[in-house]
Amino acid sequence: MTGSLVEIRAVHQRAGEPPRRWFRGEDMDLFVWQEHGRIVRLQLAHAGRADREQLFEWDAVSGASHAYVDDGTRPGGHPRTPLLAHGAPCDAPALAARFAERASTLEPTLRGFVLERLAEWPATAPAAAAHTVPVTHVADAPASLAPLVAILGVLGLATLLLSVLLRLAG
């Protein structure tokens, strides 16, 4: 069994956003935003096929989506800015099983909520209109994120997590 998700208590909160919680694991990270005890948004970052970083996202307004990180590498070309490409296929039952294995220590209501959102994802969900979002470079991150950047640098999900954090800052 791969390591359980553990809550990171020192999470930077942004003014104007609901409080955010972060649960970190070896190959999966969960971000949850709550207002008045109700989950209004979640992001489940995970390694997908061929260890490509992927993101399952749900929010109370727009529902669920799934994306992958195009890291910008091109054979024989110059590296490009990483992009978050929406409309990626998602094997939700397999992701739910992986999440359930790692989430055994989470609060039952939180664990259940994430599993319910994954269960709602259609097995053959049509790809959303494909679009990409540029990911801001780490060098543009606020200095207060420097310790976080150093910690995440050792993880395979560093690019995805930084892109999510920086996208939220912008």
Flag the least confident range among 89-93, 102-106, 135-139.
135-139
Contact 46, 28 (CB under 8 A): yes
The one-character DSSP state at 156 is T
Write down the domain spans for the chain.
Answer: 6-169
9 confidence band (pLDDT: 50, 70, 90): very high
162: Cβ contacts below 8 Å, ≥ 6 apart: 135, 138, 141, 149, 152
Contact call for residues 41 and 55 (beta carbons, < 8 A): no
* pLDDT at site 152: 42
Q: Does position 102 have pLDDT exceeding 90, yes or no?
A: yes
Mean of all residue pLDDT scores within the chain: 77
CA distance linking residue 33 with residue 19, whole number of Å: 6
Asked whether 70 and 86 are in contact (CB, 8 A), the reply is no
Instruction: Kindly state the average pLDDT of the residues 61-85.
Output: 82
